[in-house]
Structure 1
């Protein structure tokens, strides 16, 4: 059962990465604004890429944009799902010894914006391979790295 759940998560992540790569490669130079006044549907339903760019909620979208804009080139892309999962793609500028401090900083900022819930930060290398998972537990106030 656990293997099936992990496989589904891995498959969903892989599909998201492929969609991001294809859509980014095929997009033109113009950027259009999407009306975000309606509530975005949950992942797994008919969701367009525009709704998945940085988050599947308005708060997630805002936080994902903020992470990329304020990272000074350290984060190439970011997404927030369900207001408790943050995925970031780091740039080649980030040295291996800087990944864990960056993850800790992201968890702290994520917790400030989405308090009172367990959080997960997934760090991907610039080649889109998962290199670090950071989990924040609200009950123990502890950060765990895997």
Structure 2
């Protein structure tokens, strides 16, 4: 490996670390939560009750490529998703597993819950993640 190739790898690694540091800091600086006991309309809570939750809910819907029609994050530890008719019944558990993995990366070191709802908004599946044990428990409501 030449000096140029090694230098290029180091510069790429340093740039990646700086990019991740800046983007993580920018995403976590402003979280505006509704005051306890206040009445907040649904339009203000469409995707979450914090700025970070709102952003994550928006991202889930856009990244799901037509599998999720709506998503919300409540209290930065509960992710609710409404799936579309494109999701087959045998794919629901795998989809919830994928959503939980991404949710854990965005909201680390927390006990998390993913609630999956049918297109008619009937509850289908609940995935509970215990951060202490690293285990996921699935249940049907």
Same fold (TM over 0.5): yes
Aligned match for 1:77, one of 45, 66, 70: 70
Judged with a 3 Å threshold, the aligned counterparts in structure 2 of structure 1 residues 43 and 61 are, in CA distance, closer, same or farther, namely farther
Look at both structures and tell me which one has the larger radius of gyration over its CA atoms.
2
SS in 2 for 1:123: strand
Q: Partner residue of 1:67?
A: 60
TM-score, with structure 2 as normaliser: 0.74
For the aligned residues, what is the CA RMSD? 1.5
Secondary structure in 1 matching 2:125? strand
TM-aligned CA distance change 1:38 to 1:105, over 3 Å: closer
Q: Which runs of 5+ in 2 are unaligned?
A: 1-29
Aligned pairs, how many? 110
Aligned residue number for residue 104 of structure 2: 111
Please give the TM-score of this superposition, normalised by the length of structure 1.
Answer: 0.72
Could you list the structure 1 runs, at least 4 aligned residues long, displaced by more than 4 angstroms after superposition. Answer: none
Instruction: Give the drift of 1:38.
Output: 7.8
- 1:93 pairs, out of 86, 96, 105, with 86
For structure 1, the 5+ residue unaligned runs are: 1-36
